[in-house]
Structure 1
Amino acid sequence: MPHDPRPAPLEAALKLADAGLPVLPLRKGKLPVGNCRACADSACGGGPHMKSAGACVCAAPCHGWAAATADASVIGSPAWAPAWRQAVAVAYHPGGAGLTVVDLDTPAALAWARETLPATRVVSTARGEHWIYRGVMQSANSVRPGVDIKSRMAYARWLGAGRGTLVDLPSTVRALVVREEATPAREPVAFSPTARAVWNRAVATGCRHTETYIRTGLDRGLTKVSSHTETGAGSQAFGVARFLAAQHTQCPGPCDLDAIAAQIIAAAVSVGVPEPYAQRAVTNGLIAGTGRTQ
């Protein structure tokens, strides 16, 4: 039988691409190959540091995660051949495959995941495990000690198919990208757009709850958020939004959840949570509470 001259990483990449995974070669150090000359020093205006959205349009596999593809004709092309000759491993783009990887690198992180997260597909790594979920979200490093999130605009090393049954991405993981730190504001926070928002029965014409019920639940939630003056206000805002939104899943709607969300955001901002983080926390909470997907 003639020897197949193609590098082993290329063979693995083609098999993964056939299964629908966007892949790219990794060189020594688990790093993508360097950018092609046309893209060096950001000359192309694209995402040479893997931080800009959009696919790489170069023939060579530069731009890290953005170069990942499931197109076998591209993967096996002459333009990619030099990269495969120096490749020592294969990576894939989780977000491009509709997946999120929770990268757990320490025993403490593993213990936390086993206690907190739903069981799913698990892949062993040199330092811990990858827990893989069905669904896409923002990527972020160090969301907890020893925990990274790899999904959009990120790559993960392929270490095998793993074990267990793939399940949907839980709201608990989505909440990890919300900055939990909240420090007391040094001066009053100007946030008039949300401060003026008040739940209105005239707008919530399809809500089945009484106004007293809504205002009581909202007041309690706002108190919980604003009480976290040192840390955790962002996560608390997520939890309050999720809980309050869940109360409306049986309503025909509309329920004026926008006004409820605005007041939760304002409460988080008032104790020092940056507005973009507060908005993201509350939006994710509403999505989780109503059972919608992004």
Structure 2
Amino acid sequence: MIVRRSLLLSSLAMPALAQTPWAPSRPMRMVVPFAPGGAADTVGRVIAEQLAALLGQPMTVENRPGGGTTIGAVAVARAPADGHTLLYATPNVQILNPHLMRTLPYDPVADFAPVIAVLRAPKLLVVRPDFAARDIPGLIALARREANALTFASAGVASSGHLAAAMLGQMANVEMLHVPFRGTAPAVQEVMGGRVDFMMDNIATLLPLVRDGRLRALAVSTADPAAAAPELPTVAATLPGYHDASFNYLLAPARTPPEVIAVLNATVNTILDQPAMRARFEALGIEKLGGTPQALAAMVREESDRWGPVIRQGGITAE
């Protein structure tokens, strides 16, 4: 009788135990595949700080720059699949690198579990204040007068700004000369100085320069107008179907248990919904995303389908 009673109590307790939410049992880490101080690193640190507060364990941010994000990606792909290690990812990891690089030291799909999309940021197409073109049709008209007569700057070969301008050229059927630099800052200086005609980069970087009158914005890259600059037209108004937005998201190692992913996803959704976080994003022109792991996986597939043809047609490879 005592044995049967014990078994009965154990069987009743099991469902309750199975429903107990996962919680980290030791300090966590977030790998950022960039050097400290950049946009991804800054937002990643904010998310890490909030995760630590809500999950009750400290979370360190580990910068692993290099290899076009492959060094940081490998570190997470090889980490234990227990929820204690996350990758603060950009499209390079799963969307761009498979098309830009002949070989990867990781499988962009099989080695990771999607957690949540964090944010999306439109780009601005900017020129110097006295540039001849006043809008996208005018820019395309200039480019059509002579092949490679129009130049555009970027933060480097295969950077997001390079790809955004390459897609514009392909959709408009014009040839433009790419002038890569080592980072966004020198590219901006060359456009402001009139030595390069235009560039495309994140709104958080370029909008303050537009507001100060040092650059002039012709359009935003997203399909819909940007909340931070609703007066600006979209590139898609001239080239239907054009859409580009940088986005950041979180990945865990593959085979991380679903119940662990569920807790991480719910916690980050809570962080993104905080009024202070929303206000911070809005001030930078950034759109908060959130949502389910399944929605993130679908977004990654969609973006990969978008950029693969652009990279192949442009013959673009990572340096």
Q: Determine which structure has greater relative contact order: mean sequence separation of CA pairs < 8 Å that are 6+ residues apart, divided by chain length.
A: 2
Same fold by TM (over 0.5)? Answer: no
Relative to its length, the structure with more strand (as a share) is: 2
Q: Normalising to structure 2: TM-score of the pair?
A: 0.25
